[in-house]
Structure 1
Amino acid sequence: MDLDRKEVEKLIITEIKKVEDNISELKELTKPISPENAIGRVSRMDAINNKSINEASLRKAEEKLSKLKVARSKIYDNDFGICVRCKNPIPVGRIMLMPQSNKCVNCA
């Protein structure tokens, strides 16, 4: 496999930083909505709905962060870049786009 592990590691570190920043923003957006806010019933329902959407995004971002950290810790393992299902090499392009992925496109 023609994989530049240093380049992939830099990409993972950059992506971890982006995801951490995104998580910080989402945590702000998912703070409880205080009942004494005089924003009106419809606006309040809208705020509650948006909060639910942001909570789902937060969970996905935290899951991605976890996977990126695992990928970073395993980047120098011999089986990094090898599909866990079919054992074929994962294309470099896929690793560069989704370094946390441990499956090739066909198996994903």
Structure 2
Amino acid sequence: MTGARGHDVPPGVDPEAAKKTLLARRAELVALSEAAADSRKAVELDQQSIGRLSRQDALQQQAMAKAQDARRAHEIRRIDAALKRLAENDYGWCVECGAAVAPRRLEIDPCAELCVACAR
């Protein structure tokens, strides 16, 4: 397979396995985000049922849930970018210098878009 940059798939890279892994991780992240939607809702001010410390705890939990959701959204964007590179046959090639990304690096992080040298 030749990509848009004129490359064949790098040796040791299995595009189908990468796609399967990326899609599974994306589905998992979307499900987690949907399951945690209630945690990100506004904390209601009800002094009779929630004391001051309980409200502070609820606000802290809400902030942590929002931060987790932001991390999930960032990871989904990375996955979507990797899926786009797969579709364009550019997966496994560094987006900066065009060198092959090490297959072991892609096993650890299927979203990796930089070779080791450019990632430094």
- TM-score band (shorter)? 0.7 to 0.9
**Which secondary structure does the structure 1 equivalent of 2:30 belong to?**
helix
Which residue is equivalent to 1:7?
17
> Which range moves more in the overlay, 67-76 or 3-12?
67-76
Gaps in structure 1 of 5+ consecutive residues: none
Give distance in 2, aligned partners of 1:57 and 1:46.
16
Gaps in structure 2 of 5+ consecutive residues: 1-9
Contact 2:15 2:91 survives alignment (8 Å): no
1:69 to 71, 77, 80: 80
Note if 1:53 corresponds to 2:64.
Answer: yes
Of all paired residues, the percent bearing the same amino acid is 22
Letter in 2 for 1:53: M
TM-score normalised by the chain length of structure 2: 0.78
Q: CA deviation at 1:39?
A: 2.1
The structure with the largest alpha-carbon Rg is: 2
Alignment of 1:29-44 (within 5 A): 29-36=39-46, 38-44=49-55
Aligned CA RMSD, in angstroms, stands at: 1.7
Equivalenced residue count is 108
